Amino acid sequence: MTIEKIVIGTRGSKLALWQTNWVRDRIRTFYPDMEVEVRIISTKGDRVLNVSLPKLGEESKGLFTKELEEAMLDRQIDLAVHSLKDLPTELPPGLHIGAISEREDVRDALVARGGITSFDDIPEGARVGTSSLRRQAQILAARRDLILDPVRGNVDTRLGKVDSGEYDAIILASAGLRRLGLEGRITQYIPREFMLPAVGQGALAIETRSDDSAINEVVGKLDHEPTRQACRSERALLKGLGGGCLVPIAALGIIEGDRLSLKGLVARADGSEIVRGEAEGPRGEAEVIGLRLAEDLLERGAGRVLNR
């Protein structure tokens, strides 16, 4: 190994820094003499907080990744750490996912004000914060009596909106709360049967230059093969449906032995129609399984739902 120093690019939020520092520390366990620098880079997603994600439309592509990717292509940084669910399925030429970390808890989490102990306890007409169309669709399919409002900002900002009474409850990824040591704020882990997670939820993606063999050798030590295969199937499903992170699409791949099972859904944002499906096969055929499920969902009406 001839590398003496690695520069990791990251967003500046508390969660992004936790994730990046975790990757830094893992690299140091394998290469204790290597210098690892963390460099904060502001993305458009960090700066534009007064517009909900769905309203940004096409501008949302690469919202949390573009500036990091540009810095990598300019060789200002050697790699970037992302929440995999934020990473588009199509990456810029010259970049790829060098490693995917072992997954945290994939479930969504309910954080609610005092008196509410579960999703079923949320009173009629309560105000629930979420900027995810995926969550919105699944909530409204079960509880059309709730008022859903977009909520942006970092984790502390969102929690503060519950504490101040601005929202009765918010929905967040449990992985982020657990990584920040805030699992005590979780009112309920929402069952996957009720709310299927986002593609790649709970996993970290380490993005690198495709041709940088030395860096790829380093980050390859952090790759968790079962998580990679599960997430490959989910991302293949998303790509096959032609969707992105702003479309109400959910998926979860699960590895059991040599088999991979994949659940997916496509929904209208108002929850009035949901198309669900499942596929399974050998874990080594992750992308084939994802594309097969995408074809099945499209044949059963997912294309019509997405076009609406």
For 232-247, write each residue's pLDDT tens digit. Answer: 999 999 999 987 656 7
User: In the prediction, which pLDDT does 118 show?
Assistant: 95
First-residue to last-residue Cα distance in the chain: 52
121 is catalytic: no
pLDDT for the residue numbered 244 = 63
Which residues in 282-298 are b (16+ Cβ under 10 Å) and which e? ebebbbbbbbbbbbbbb
Q: How much of the chain is helix, strand and coil, in % rounded to 5?
A: 40, 25, 35
Residue 152: the pLDDT is: 79
Cα–Cα dist 52/149, whole Å: 9
From 78, 86, 108, 212, active-site residue: 86
* Stretches in the chain below the pLDDT threshold 50: 49, 51, 55-60
Burial (CB count within 10 angstroms: exposed 0-12, middle 13-18, buried 19+), residue 90: exposed
Who contacts 293 (Cβ-Cβ below 8 Å, separation ≥6)? 233, 237, 240, 262, 264, 277, 278, 279
CA 285 vs CA 47, 91, 232, 256: distances in Å: 39, 21, 9, 14
pLDDT at res. 58: 46
Nearest C-alpha neighbor of 262 from the set 141, 106, 89: 106
Q: What is the pLDDT of residue 61?
A: 54
